A and B are shown apart, each in its own frame.
Chain A
């Protein structure tokens, strides 16, 4: 037993505590914004946050909060609150639990700080538009919609012009709500920090290319919080530098994320927040390490369009061409690249009832991966934070069968 505890201790991520502290401080600052006179904006996870930071507005992410609700297994209960108001149990469980939470100030941190404004960018889905309309009515506050036309096959010139114009409208909106001029010098600095943070995050994720991998996608789901909530700050850069160092150290010392990494897998879609531990243990018991995922890399996937020396202009394209705002064939290309890059033996797809833009099209992606790479795949269905829609026994059987297939193949 002592050996096992030691073994566990060795594998523990040292940076985890630091990140928890940073996140706690962040939420304390956000929840006490009333005392410091700072404004609070609720913003979608893929939304352009840098202008907020440049204006000293505290960005708060209902989606990150949703993840926390899910991880604390409080999603079902809060979703039920929304259903009592007439919201269908079929809609996004982030939205349902957030709407429920606004009513009762419940959840793991007693609700989010009240927003002074809402920033909704539809590059991740159309659902956020409806969700933010609900909150705009509830809190009776201004809503800015940053409309990023979907790029099925191209980023059209017309869209380019439209999105670029909206950046000026966005900064104008912020000037109005904050009652001060937009700081064009500061945004250059924030943009530079944002790009650097994204680069570092990509480097962290890249360490999973090592065999055995020093981290799993479940770790990435956890460490993701900073690049989502605090991108554009020095703190994020410092943290990811340390994390990168820790990962490189693990690689050097041969510390792997799971005890016996025999099989390497790729995860698709958002996490099943209330089953992270269960899933990671389940796969580890099969000596399978989920080394990478399509989800956490979305926060650095459009780096190629970003120019830190011309941030505001390049941000238009960067935010419009993120992973979820592109056609299924484009997504297939990215998935195939990841299969090679991380050298995986199987593909685990979370068919997420909460997220149609991420999930519809998965069957076509699955077939393409099987056809091009010949690796087995698995589909697990759930609502990402509503545990009432999950079947443990069904999922368990599927995982076991999937792992048998992989074993036979290897």
Chain B
């Protein structure tokens, strides 16, 4: 499957890819968090790419952020201060957690990438006024973009962007479903590369590649064996560690679905194509699978993880939590309790920018998979 190489190339070298894209004349805006209304950025003609932490050492960011701030936030700032994001024409910060909130301030005061916007989204999503505010704040963001970038974002452009993103989300979901049905067609690492690249690659090009991949999978894909492997669900914030998938597979398991910001939370839920475009976009973000930094109900995430496990016939859940990530740390005990109640085993793995030693990881995964 040659098309996979394209995804890997982008997922593993996002900056190199972005620089090339920039040379072709594209303007690029970096963003954090899957609540960023990418559709509006895309409709402005500017290319949105998602920013992750760093794979390297964190030194410059240490003079702005304490060590008890998560490695994603510290790593992202490191990349900016190190000058590795020199291809950016701007950055967008949707309101998520306390750490990203302060990162926005520090970023605004210490970097200069041109366009800058905070999109201060509502924290609760279950009331009429919060949804109205959601739409209002996206309308404001549209104006901010128009003013800041000197462009006009017409309703038609928004509608085109909505269709584009609906297609991307449907394709990603279809791939996940094919993989859940027959995990042997793709490795977990492959699927990681595809979803990650989807947040970076030029989106029309991405759609072409996604359909090529779908065709290749219909023909059997990697045709690996998955009989006897224990089916698992991965839950947490972002997964920046493709090795996790490989170690799980080496230990006799396979991740068949996830509840990740860089996974199903990114692609679940499509946008109504016939309504007022900005209001429809707001509605999708308010209704999508909720992140722990937002409030939909007191039990939304617990109910959801149980639903995912049942729907995908999984035997257990691996919680992959980023150390110092408060919202997820608060949700973990009750989500585990919900799973326990259904006799669904789960295990917790806390990670930072680097994984624990492979030996320790294998011990945990092998034990867990043996247990199932």
Contacts and interface: CB of A to CB of B under 8 A. Distances in A.
Q: Do A and B bind each other?
A: yes
B98 A162 contact: no
Interface string A338-377: 0000000000000101001101111110000000000000
Nearest to A359: B66
B127 A169 contact: yes
Interface residues on A, range: 35 or more
Nearest to A148: B123
A22 interface: no
B66 A145 contact: no
Contacts of B66: 351, 353, 359-360, 362-363, 381
Given A126-B123, A360-B99, A329 B105 contact: yes
Interface string A119-137: 0001001110111011011
A145 B295 contact: yes
Given A133-B295, A137-B334, A143-B298, A159 B120 contact: yes
Interface in A119-169: 122, 125-127, 129-131, 133-134, 136-137, 143, 145, 147, 149-153, 156, 158-159, 161-162, 165-166, 169
A158 B63 CA distance: 35
B127 A328 contact: no
Given A162-B130, A351-B66, A364-B110, A357 B101 contact: yes
B178 interface: no
Contact of B102 (A85, A165, A356): A356
B206 interface: no
A37 interface: no
B293 interface: yes
A145 B65 CA distance: 29
Nearest to A86: B333
A130 to B, nearest CB: 4
A328 B295 CA distance: 25
B292 A85 contact: no
Interface stretch (A44-52, A87-95, A189-197, A254-262): A87-95
Contacts of A156: 120, 137, 140
Given A88-B332, A127-B326, 15 more contacts: A126-B123, A133-B330, A137-B299, A145-B123, A149-B120, A150-B120, A158-B136, A158-B140, A161-B133, A327-B105, A356-B68, A356-B69, A360-B65, A360-B69, A364-B109
Interface of A: 85-88, 90-92, 95, 122, 125-127, 129-131, 133-134, 136-137, 143, 145, 147, 149-153, 156, 158-159, 161-162, 165-166, 169, 327-329, 351, 353, 356-357, 359-364, 381
